[in-house]
Amino acid sequence: MCRFPICFLLIGGLCGAQGGSDSQPASSNVRGAEYPRVSSDLRVTFRIKAPQARQVRLQPGGDDNGLGKGPMDMMRGADGVWTVTTPPAVPGFHYYWFLVDGLAVGDPGSETYFGWGKESSGVEVPEKGTDFYAVKDVPHGEVRTRWYYAKTTATWRRAMVYTPPEYDRNARARYPVLYLQHGAGEDERGWTNQGRANFILDNLIAEGRAKPMIVVMEQGYATLLGPVQGSATQGRGTGQSVVFEQVVLNDLIPMIDATYRTRADRDHRAMAGLSMGGGQTLQITLTHLDKFSWIGSFSSPLRTGFDLKTAYNGAFADAAAFTRRVHLLWFGAGTAEERMLKPALAMSEALQQAGIRNVFYQSPGTAHEWQTWRRDLHEFAPLLFQ
Amino acid sequence: MCRFPICFLLIGGLCGAQGGSDSQPASSNVRGAEYPRVSSDLRVTFRIKAPQARQVRLQPGGDDNGLGKGPMDMMRGADGVWTVTTPPAVPGFHYYWFLVDGLAVGDPGSETYFGWGKESSGVEVPEKGTDFYAVKDVPHGEVRTRWYYAKTTATWRRAMVYTPPEYDRNARARYPVLYLQHGAGEDERGWTNQGRANFILDNLIAEGRAKPMIVVMEQGYATLLGPVQGSATQGRGTGQSVVFEQVVLNDLIPMIDATYRTRADRDHRAMAGLSMGGGQTLQITLTHLDKFSWIGSFSSPLRTGFDLKTAYNGAFADAAAFTRRVHLLWFGAGTAEERMLKPALAMSEALQQAGIRNVFYQSPGTAHEWQTWRRDLHEFAPLLFQ
């Protein structure tokens, strides 16, 4: 590929920037792309050249996207370049795409982030006074792509495995493990690409605030493709979440414990997830307390009015026994996502009243987006394995 | 993200497939996407729903793309869905995008692959009778994301590091290192995402045909951002390739040798690259033979009529000395990319005539595309460190 117009990118970088005099290209852009740009007051300016289009709009991903309500009309310039500047945005990571004559298209200036079931554009809006998810001058762990064969699904699957900075230097040390799941429409890359989980952990470990740990991120989807084997479907159907649970228990955890220097017992095994992944976490951990003792639910779609006695196979029925066994039960939600916040608060309070200790964290001003979940991880991880 | 229309994907998977009765979704698609589809005769059917578009065309990436000459007109169906089926394609990986009323847009059914300076769509067309780059039931190495600070550029940079399957089990073993570079418009993810270098190495190592080795893949771009330090610019300017050379020599290699269990000498250090990366490889290795002794140039844009006495600071001037020092000088090109093949053949022959032994590999029927470079790696890697 020697025909790449590198000169175009370089020239594009030197002229034409219009996103406010103090604006900067978003850190989520591809190398050299000048748009989107973020101003110091957190307005975001988007741009796309579409000379033949009749209408171009900016579509933030979802109703509670921190860019504001969409779609937003973009204005056509004389050169066929369409632009829009949003109101000041909520800090964090926001999915978006353009609607060009009604067709949803990605922004060639943006990196892609798997969300909404496709490779989506995304824009990073910095939060002033906060750098807990920045790449800093501290020792860095690795994120390792690990392929493994899952008997449950009869397929090769890909896990992303964070190992802490010291992992390769302490060749005899063993580490606790956090299994960390993404939301619906996302995949095993979300927690690092969008969530910056590796930098959050690097920074917490460098500050001595979190124990060095392994973090395993897998795709929360699984279907039975090959011949049904073992206990995968015994009496519980073949739905995605049931099959995923079997993958975690029968394939993923044994593979991780056989491949990495883990502390392979329930006292050193945590699971957390966001949205769909939080629901999967509660289902898997609470019905398998022999395997897990640290539990995190971030912005999960919980039902109100659940029955303490029967929920999750009766895990909460004996409060004293639960409290003895479970080291941490942790809930989080953003204050701007009432739909997730209220049922989670109700569940947390019902548990407290029943004598089941739990922690609740409210992320100020953020909705059903990655800034909430970055903060969740930043609050949750220091409590683990202590 | 609990609002993801998973049902749509599932239903979409059950109906509407039209790409030939024996066609299959391309392995390069996102999970659940039915299009593009590849038939057994290697015709590829593309589809996009764009009810308001007046014209939709398929644009293969580049003139020598194995999908054929573009742009190809797509036909509008009554439902606003546009389709096209290509002639039988050349096996391998092909970049593409859609031109919707002239606007280049990605295919939401495709994963994205960084090429052409943006996240591009790509389609994998299988090659019959060949599985050297497939994920197989063999021990798998890891691809590790490694962030490090480069003093040359005063920035944090990301390297992708392949470690062989046995790396973590043989805690005292040390390994040779291959530095492996992408082409212009691509980045450090290309050799694994598009090239499947990790599977190629896994399979070769499992067959006993290649030595276990570490493979380091970095981005072949570098500019001086911070204050100029040390020797980065001494007398040689601040162009991208000069700065990248300094990053490799002064930042990347020392970091790799300090972080991984390498054999940190020239006898155990190789470099190879494709297209632009091949040009960088020749420049860096031939002018630093104290650091490298195994050299691979894949489809590089070479000049004809170079001067054996003066080229690369006179590296070839003393043929006997060169042959004593350099264990392997390897060239590759596809038979369908005459523009790259002819100058490389001319250089190889001139070197042979001057007494400088080298290996030339011609990839049958492939052009300036990833199938050529996968085959290059598959031929080149077994010769390394033997």
Contact B146 A142 (CB under 8 A): yes
In contact, B370 and B92? CB cutoff 8 Å: yes
Q: Which of residues 120-149 of A touch B (CB under 8 A)?
A: 135, 137, 140, 142-149
Residue range A81-103: mean pLDDT, rounded:
98
Are A145 and B185 an interchain contact pair (Cβ–Cβ within 8 Å)? Answer: no
Contact call for B140 and A147, based on CB within 8 A:
yes
Report the DSSP pairing between strands B177-181 and B269-274.
parallel
Per-residue pLDDT, averaged over A215-240, amounts to 65
CATH 3.40.50.1820 fits B142-383, yes or no: yes
Alpha-helical segments (H) within chain A = 6-14, 190-193, 197-206, 240-246, 253-259, 276-286, 311-314, 319-325, 338-353, 370-380
Residue of B52, B81, B103, B182 to mutate, interface with A, max A Cβ within 10 Å: B103
Query: A6, B140: Cβ pair inside 8 Å?
Result: no
The reply to whether A115 touches chain B by the CB within 8 Å rule is yes
Task: Report yes or no: A259 at the B interface, CB cutoff 8 Å.
Answer: yes
Q: Is A102 on the interface with B (CB under 8 A)?
A: yes
Tokens linked to B86: 């290509």
Q: What is the pLDDT of residue A225?
A: 59
Contact A101 B53 (CB under 8 A): yes
Beta strands B269-274 and B294-298: pairing type?
A: parallel
CB B117 to CB A143 under 8 A?
no
Joined together, the tokens standing for residue A250 give 């029968």
- The two three-digit tokens of residue A103, written as one number: 């067709």
Cα nearest neighbour of A135 on chain B: B156
Closest alpha carbon to B39 in B91, B76, B79: B91
The pTM (predicted TM-score) of the whole model is: 0.93
Fold topology of A12-125: Immunoglobulin-like (2.60.40)
Closest by alpha carbon to A181, among A296, A262, A97? A296
What's the CATH number for B17-125? 2.60.40.10
> Which residues does chain B have within 8 Å of residue A51's beta carbon, measured at their own beta carbons?
102
B280 to chain A, any CB pair closer than 8 A? The answer is no
B-contacting residues in A 173-212 (Cβ below 8 Å)? 183-187, 192, 198
**Strand pairing report for A328-334 and A294-298:** parallel
- Integer Cα distance of B263 and B294 in angstroms: 14
Residue-level pLDDT at B3: 39
Mark yes or no for CB contact A30/B62 under 8 Å.
no
User: In sequence order, which residues have a C-beta less than 8 Å from that of residue A240 and are 6 or more positions away?
Assistant: A221, A222, A223, B6
Chain A residues within an 8 Å CB radius of B31: 117, 187, 219, 221
> pLDDT confidence of A238, banded at 50, 70, 90?
low
Peptide bond into A164 cis (omega under 30): no
3-state secondary structure A29-95: ECCCCCCCEECCCCCEEEEEECCCCCCEEEEECCCCCCCCCCCEECEECCCCEEEEECCCCCCEEEE
**Whether B312 contacts chain A with CB within 8 A:** no
Contacts of B260 in chain A (CB under 8 A): 168
For B213, the token pair is 């080795």
Does the CA dihedral B236-B237-B238-B240 come out positive or negative?
A: negative
B225 to chain A, any CB pair closer than 8 A? The answer is no
Q: Using DSSP, state whether A274 is helix, strand or coil.
A: strand
Residue of B nearest to A300 (CA): B2
Quick check: A277 contacting B, CB < 8 Å?
no
Chain B residue numbers with beta carbons less than 8 Å from the beta carbon of A368 are 1-2
- What region, left, alpha or beta, does residue B129 occupy, with left being phi > 0 and alpha being psi -120 to 50 degrees? left
Find the range with the poorest average confidence among A14-23, A179-188, B36-45. Answer: A14-23
Q: Which helix (H) or strand (E) holds A331?
A: strand A328-334
A93 closest CA partner among A163, A28, A14: A28
Phi, psi of A242 (to 5 degrees): -65, -45
Q: What is the DSSP code string of B154-185?
A: TEEEEEEEEE-TTTTT-TT--B-EEEEE--TT
Chain B environment of A260 (Cβ under 8 Å) = 168
Q: Which residues in chain B have Cβ-Cβ distances shorter than 8 Å to A119?
A: 30, 106, 108, 110-112, 119
Q: Which residues of B touch A301 (CB under 8 A)?
A: 2
| B111 vs A5, A119, A135: nearest CB | A119
Record: contact B118-A100, CB cut-off 8 A = no
Question: Alpha-carbon distance B383 to B34, whole Å?
Answer: 40
All CATH 2.60.40.10 domain ranges in chain A, comma separated: 12-125
- Other residues' Cβ atoms within 10 Å of the Cβ of residue B56: 24
B171 and chain A in contact, CB less than 8 A: yes
> What is residue A129's predicted lDDT score, i.e. its pLDDT?
95
Measure CB to CB from residue A1 to each of B31, B51, B185 and give the nearest one. B185
Sort residue A247 into left (φ over 0), alpha (ψ -120 to 50) or beta: alpha
Question: Choosing among A63, A65, A98, A118, which should be mutated to test the B contact, i.e. which has the most B CBs within 10 A?
Answer: A118
Are residues A259 and B168, on separate chains, in Cβ contact within 8 Å?
yes
pLDDT over 70 at A231, yes or no: no
Q: Collect all residues of chain A within an 8 Å Cβ-Cβ radius of residue B276.
A: 1-2, 4
Contact by Cβ (8 Å): B62, A3: yes
Give the gap in angstroms from C-alpha A53 to the nearest C-alpha of chain B.
7
Check A301 against B168: CB less than 8 A apart. no
Positive/negative CA dihedral, B339, B345, B350, B351: positive
At residue B90, the pLDDT reads 98
Q: A-contacting residues of B 326-365, CB under 8 Å?
A: none
Residue ranges, CATH 3.40.50.1820, chain A: 142-383
Q: Are A308 and A316 in contact (CB under 8 A)?
A: yes
Nearest residue on chain B to A102, alpha-carbon basis: B52
User: Rounded to the nearest 10 degrees, what angle do helices A197-206 and A370-380 cross at?
Assistant: 30
For the cut 60, the answer to whether the pLDDT of residue A124 exceeds it is: yes
Query: Is pLDDT at A110 greater than 90 in this prediction?
Result: yes
pLDDT at B19: 60
Angle subtended by helix axes B197-206 and B370-380, to nearest 10: 30
- CB count in 10 Å sphere of residue B201: 27
The predicted pLDDT at position B13 comes to 36
Residue A18 is predicted with a pLDDT of: 56
Measured in whole angstroms, how far is the alpha carbon of residue A159 from the centre of its chain? 14
| Closest approach of B324 to chain A, Cα-based (Å) | 32
CB contact under 8 Å between B276 and A186, yes or no, is no
Rounded to an integer, what is the distance from CA B5 to the centroid of its chain?
A: 34
Q: Does B13 contact chain A (CB < 8 Å)?
A: no
Counting Cα atoms < 13 Å in the Cβ hemisphere of A311 gives 17
A148/A186 Cα distance (integer angstroms) = 20
What's the average pLDDT block by block, 10 residues per block, for chain B (386 residues)?
Answer: 36 44 94 96 98 97 93 96 98 98 97 97 97 98 98 96 96 96 97 98 98 97 61 50 94 98 98 97 97 98 85 96 97 97 95 97 98 98 97
Counting Cβ atoms within 10 Å, is residue B298 exposed (0-12), middle (13-18) or buried (19+)?
Answer: buried
Predicted local distance difference test score (pLDDT) of residue A7: 34
Q: Where are the beta strands (DSSP E) in chain B?
A: 24-25, 37-38, 44-49, 56-60, 72-73, 75-76, 81-85, 92-100, 103-105, 112-115, 118-125, 142-150, 155-163, 177-181, 214-217, 269-274, 294-298, 328-334, 359-363
Phi/psi of residue A120, nearest 5 degrees: -105, 160
**Position A229 pLDDT exceeds 80:** no
Residues above pLDDT 70, as percent of chain A? 91
The reply to whether A366 touches chain B by the CB within 8 Å rule is no
Q: Is B146:B238 a contact under the CB 8 Å cutoff?
A: no
Residue A228's DSSP bridge partners are none
Provide, as residue numbers in chain A, all residues whose Cβ is less than 8 Å from the Cβ of B259: 168
**Contact residues for B282 (Cβ-Cβ < 8 A; gap 6+):** B295, B297, B300, B302, B312
Nearest CA in chain B to A50: B103
Size of interface A-B (CB pairs under 8 A): 158
B34 touching chain A per CB within 8 A: no
Measured on CA atoms in the order A114, A118, A121, A122, is the torsion positive or negative?
Answer: negative
Q: What is the pLDDT of residues A284-335, one digit of tens each?
A: 999 999 999 999 999 999 877 778 999 999 999 999 999 999 999 999 999 9
Residue B58, beta-bridge partner list: B72, B98
